Amino acid sequence: ETGVTQSPTHLIKTRGQQVTLRCSSQSGHNTVSWYQQALGQGPQFIFQYYREEENGRGNFPPRFSGLQFPNYSSELNVNALELDDSALYLCASSAGGPHDTGELFFGEGSRLTVL
């Protein structure tokens, strides 16, 4: 059983560019969540996907969007990058559905730097 894997691990973009981050969920997990962790802060919820549908969204603008695929892998897309988007982006998967309070399994994250 593999864990949650994310790619790329590090990337640098410039303001106004677009970025796509990828996540492969833990085997058998049907729910994926994305979090943004700014330096020195706790993770902030961006959105959650369950069975390929967005199922909850945090306080992030529409230029943050996502996809979940039939194999439960997921993407986070950010358009029109801003300097404040520089952060560690964490993907987390779980098996119990969107309202389960069980354990989330996190990947190691993708560190995005916007110049």
Partner 1 sequence: GDSVTQMEGPVTLSEEACLTINCTYTATGYPSLFWYVQYPGEGLQLLLKATKADDKGSNKGFEATYRKETTSFHLEKGSVQVSDSAVYFCALTVYTPLVFGKGTRLSVIA
Residue ranges in contact with partner 1 by CB under 8 A: 4, 33, 35, 40-45, 48, 56, 58, 90, 92, 99, 101, 103-104, 106-109
Cβ 86 to partner 1 shortest distance, Å: 17
Cβ 1 to partner 1 shortest distance, Å: 16
Cβ proximity to partner 1, 19 vs 36, nearer residue: 36
Cβ 101 to partner 1 shortest distance, Å: 4
Cβ 73 to partner 1 shortest distance, Å: 17
Cβ proximity to partner 1, 72 vs 89, nearer residue: 89
Q: Which element (helix H / strand E) includes 106?
A: strand 105-106
Task: Name, in order, each residue with C-beta under 8 angstroms of 101's C-beta and a sequence gap of 6 or more.
Answer: none
Task: Name, in order, each residue with C-beta under 8 angstroms of 46's C-beta and a sequence gap of 6 or more.
Answer: 33, 34, 35, 36, 57, 58, 60, 64, 66, 76, 89
Cβ proximity to partner 1, 28 vs 42, nearer residue: 42
Q: Give the Å distances, CA to CA, from 87 to 35, 94, 98, 103, 111.
A: 10, 23, 25, 23, 6
